[in-house]
């Protein structure tokens, strides 16, 4: 269960996803959230929305979207999201991948989900 402190921290991390993209050669926070949307949908469909959001929150709060430590028990949902976020970080940067994870962890409005998922 996320504490209110964790949720506020996730919202702060996710804020750049809803801000206009500044010029640059890297994929920005909104683009990173868009790129992650397919895996997010897969995990939510297969494991449930709550599991997807908890997994995204865990990875975003860790500060670096990497897979589990050796011997650490994690679920398939977290492993899928970690692998996708780790690959995304190569293209978009770790901070943008972290913002994308935080966005999917705390956003609850399907209209906003559709807007971000269509932001390509």
Q: How many domains does the chain have?
A: 1
Domain that holds residue 47: 4-117
The 10s digit of each residue's pLDDT in 83-116 is: 999 999 999 999 999 999 999 999 999 999 999 9
- What is the radius of gyration, based on Cα positions, of the chain? 13
pTM of the model as a whole? 0.85
pLDDT single digits (tens) 17-68: 988 776 665 789 999 999 999 999 999 999 999 999 999 999 999 875 555 5
């Amino acid at each position: 269960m996320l504490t209110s402190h964790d949720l506020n921290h996730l919202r702060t991390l996710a804020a750049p996803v809803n801000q206009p993209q500044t010029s640059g050669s890297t994929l920005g926070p909104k683009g990173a959230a868009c790129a992650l949307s397919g895996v997010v949908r897969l995990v939510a469909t297969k494991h449930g929305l709550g599991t997807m959001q908890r997994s995204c929150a865990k990875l975003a709060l860790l500060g670096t979207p990497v897979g589990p430590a050796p011997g650490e028990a994690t679920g398939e949902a977290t492993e899928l999201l970690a692998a996708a976020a780790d690959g995304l970080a190569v293209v978009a940067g770790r901070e943008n991948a972290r913002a994308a994870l935080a966005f999917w962890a705390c956003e609850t409005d399907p209209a906003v989900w559709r807007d971000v998922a269509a932001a390509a």
